[in-house]
Structure 1
Amino acid sequence: MGNNSEALAYQRLAGAVFGSLCGDALGMPVEGWPPDQIKEVHGRLDSMRPGRLPKGSYTDDSQMMLSVLETLVKHKKIEPQDLARRFAENFEPERGYGGRTYDALNRLRNGADWRSISSDSWANGAAMRVGVVGAFFAGHFDEIKKAALAQCRVTHTHPLAQAGACAQALAVGLACDLGAKGEKPQTDIVTAYLAEQIEDISPEAADRLLALPDTQGLTEEECQDALWAEYEMNLRTMEAVCPALGAFLWADSFKDAVVMAVSLGGDTDTIGAMAGAMAGAYHGLDAIPKAWLDDLEQGPKGFAYFEKLCREALI
């Protein structure tokens, strides 16, 4: 990079991108499993495993995040028509798309106007892909919220989906700022800020954030129990965003945040990707285990392509 500030920006942006990829790939083989089954089969799931896709593969979460990153690199903002086109071009159904998103992208591929595909879904599809927005616009929270909503509206019109996407993007933006300053995020401060930012979109979503238990200082088992007592770990947006945030706030390292997120069970690839984006933005790319990065898939739009986009995003 050209100078120290650019190098630091790359650490945060690439940290969020590859953190999300790693969380997605780590959670992929146990998606839909309850936590007891994960523990029985894998113990502490802290290394990449094969599942419905080969070891280190990303799912629909990261494939849609890729499209968001591509349009940010091209336009330096969210350009909805371009984003929709990229969603359609990158669409590989075997990655595991949810029903409504699958139908919407299939219609796009068959020539539908992008303005006709959005649905009134409260699911977490728009939040799972948005972490890169928080890192791309780090330090500019109005821009983060604006871009998070713009990318959400391409596929999701429900207030819960929109509020969740904003909360996730803003959490990653906060993680960038606090990590750069070397400041530890505090649960009450973070949740109060995020809730304030999304209350105008969905009071219900803001309430779910404010219900987040303070996981800091708990043991691993206590953290799991506290998050399970409050959230469902499912496709409903805030039931994924909130536990991902709890896992991030609990952990002192990138690895522990993502392992905790995946160990919660349920929508593991999504919760892992969300926590990975936050933790990667906070701790930086260099904090991600090398073994995890080495295991990520290669290919035309694999590891090297994501790395290229992260560098181009800062030009």
Structure 2
Amino acid sequence: MSAHLLARAASSLHGLALGDAFGSQFFVPANRHALDSRLLPPAPWQWTDDTEMACSVYRVLADHGTIDQDALATSFATRHDFDRGYGPATNRLLRLVREGGDWRALSAGLFDGRGSWGNGAAMRVAPLGAWFAGDLAEAVRQSTLSAQVTHTHPEAVAGAVAVAVATAVTATEPGLPAGHFLDRVSEHVPDSLVRDGLAEARQLLTISDPSLAARMLGNGRQVTAHDTVPFALWVAARHRHDHEAAMWTTAAAGGDVDTTCAIVGGIVGAAESGHLPPEWRRRCEPLPSWSGAPPLDHHDPTP
């Protein structure tokens, strides 16, 4: 197994965790003033379910080199910490898997058999995109497999595909202008509201106000893939090479801030220039040891 793949995926995972932990601080009323003044919230920053599930994605890739859906479902269920902020449907699904339930039937049966179109598959997938950055078709296939373990609705799958491809393109084509970046991602996203949102995000690149962009694209407040991913990729397109700008821009829009920041952080973490600010890293809760991800100082994310 390539040490380079592990390093690139781990870099994305660290970026995702830092974004998740940073974004989660703005659900604390006392920290909301920090958005206007850009003062870092006090430590420690704890990550949420976004990171916990992303660690399982990374660990399964490290162990298998591919998405083994049974192994991923088992890891999600075994590592599930109720206090990390999971949604009620996912809490129930993972509890039933732990009790011996069939994840395939449980995932497909959510929401009267329609499956979940939530943003959970997209929030955790960036390290997978970094892993398969050299093969976009495989990134699409593998991100689809990873999504289906908990989210079978086509919109949720499209959201995961979009984030995985965005991360892959960030890692391998760092010089793409913002518009071409979104075009490149959209080429691989199936017809969906997510893809429509990416087209709208493309048109909004001329504006700089994240609140205005979020009013048009959504900011995750509805916790759906199509209400979350287009805005996150609008930010990533503009700020792939500036972690701090990416995080402050994402958080300024409000909504599901830990998830939008996790998505953007995972994408930026895979960038050649995606080194994470030391002071931010010091404030962030470390990754769990079971993830197997090396400490950030022990690898070089550059391709």
Task: Please say whether Structure 1 and Structure 2 have the same fold, judged by a TM-score greater than 0.5.
Answer: yes
Change (3 A) 1:123 1:256: same
2:36 corresponds to: 43
1:191 aligns with 2:182: yes
CA distance in structure 1 between the aligned counterparts of 2:224 and 2:28, rounded to whole angstroms: 14
Matches within 5 A, 1:95-110: 95-110=84-99
- Bigger shift: 275-284 or 84-93? 275-284
1:20 aligns with 2:25: no
1:307 aligns with 2:301: no
- Aligned mate of 1:245, from 233, 247, 268: 233
CA offset at residue 239 of structure 1? 1.6
CA offset at residue 176 of structure 1? 0.3
1:279 aligns with 2:279: no
CA offset at residue 142 of structure 1? 1.1
Q: What code does the residue aligned with 1:135 have? A: A
CA offset at residue 245 of structure 1? 1.1
Q: What code does the residue aligned with 1:243 have? A: F
1:141 corresponds to: 136
- Aligned mate of 2:257, from 258, 262, 268: 268
Q: Which runs of 5+ in 2 are unaligned?
A: none
Q: Give TM-score scaled by structure 1 length.
A: 0.83
- Contact 2:210/2:253 (CA < 8 Å) preserved in 1? no
1:224 corresponds to: 211
CA offset at residue 197 of structure 1? 1.6
Per-residue CA deviation, residues 69-128 of structure 1 (Å, 9 max, x unaligned), is 110001000000000110011100000001111110011111212222213111000110
Q: Percent identity?
A: 29
Q: What code does the residue aligned with 2:152 have? A: T
CA offset at residue 270 of structure 1? 0.4
CA offset at residue 185 of structure 1? 3.3
Change (3 A) 1:305 1:98: same
Q: What code does the residue aligned with 1:176 have? A: A
CA offset at residue 308 of structure 1? 6.0
1:152 corresponds to: 147
1:236 aligns with 2:224: yes
Q: Which runs of 5+ in 1 are unaligned?
A: none
Q: Give TM-score scaled by structure 2 length.
A: 0.86
Tell me, what secondary structure is at the counterpart of 1:122?
Answer: coil
1:56 aligns with 2:45: yes
Q: RMSD across aligned C-alpha pairs, in angstroms?
A: 2.7
CA offset at residue 131 of structure 1? 0.4
Tell me, what secondary structure is at the counterpart of 2:133?
Answer: coil
Q: What code does the residue aligned with 1:159 have? A: P
Per-residue CA deviation, residues 164-190 of structure 1 (Å, 9 max, x unaligned), is 0000000000000123xxx14322x22
- Bigger shift: 76-85 or 115-124? 115-124
CA distance in structure 1 between the aligned counterparts of 2:41 and 2:134, rounded to whole angstroms: 33
- Contact 2:49/2:84 (CA < 8 Å) preserved in 1? yes
1:122 corresponds to: 117
CA offset at residue 46 of structure 1? 5.3
CA offset at residue 41 of structure 1? 5.5
CA offset at residue 278 of structure 1? 1.1
Q: What code does the residue aligned with 2:215 have? A: W
Q: Size of the alignment, in residue pairs?
A: 289
